[in-house]
Amino acid sequence: MAYIDTSALAKWYLNEARSEEFAAWIQAESETHISTLTVVEMRCLLARRRRNQELSRELEQKVFATLQDDIAQGFLIQHSVDDEEVSGALNLLMILPDHPLRTLDALHLSIARRLGTERLVTADRIMIGAAQAIGFKVVPFD
């Protein structure tokens, strides 16, 4: 079971460094898990890139629709976020004081812990260190 954060998942939908490697990895997986947080972050990422003129409005909409289709078809298994994860994120921020985790990254880690995920997939170097510190096997795409 693998939980994918937004920094890695973006490589499936957009042409980024290591996109080809990520594509090969995700196609070989039997279960890939994300959360509603991932969907919100992906929407934000796409809008930011459109505003920065890195992609057109049409491509932004097409990519987001493709993400939604992947969820609807069960290619990506989406989990909700609840107060338990928020409390878990707070706890992680307290027990990992040497890792400069951002709020949403702490939430991703908390969600992955609740799900009992063995592997965390990310392209975020800070998240890699924090995930390893709490026992995740990390699949890095940084």
Structural domains of the chain sorted by starting position, each given as residue range(s) with its CATH number in brackets: 2-140 (3.40.50.1010)
- pLDDT category, 6, cuts 50, 70, 90? very high
- pLDDT category, 142, cuts 50, 70, 90? very high
- pLDDT on residue 113: 96
- pLDDT on residue 40: 98
DSSP 64-108: HHHHHHHHHTTSSEEE---HHHHHHHHHHHHH-TTS---HHHHHH
- pLDDT on residue 4: 98
Instruction: Find residue 122's DSSP bridge partners.
Output: 140
Q: What is the DSSP secondary structure assignment for residue 127, as one 8-state letter? A: H
**Could you read off the pLDDT of 44-100 as tens digits, one per residue?**
999 999 999 999 999 999 999 999 999 999 999 999 999 999 999 999 999 999 999
- pLDDT on residue 58: 98
- pLDDT on residue 24: 98
**Could you read off the pLDDT of 27-46 as tens digits, one per residue?**
999 999 999 999 999 999 99
- Among all chains, which residue has been given the structure tokens 């937004």? 6
Question: CB neighbours of 32 closer than 8 A, spacing ≥ 6?
Answer: 2, 4, 26, 75, 76, 77
Pairing assessment for the beta strands 32-35 and 137-140 based on DSSP bridges: unpaired
Cα–Cα distance measured from residue 83 to residue 70, given in angstroms and rounded to the nearest whole number: 26
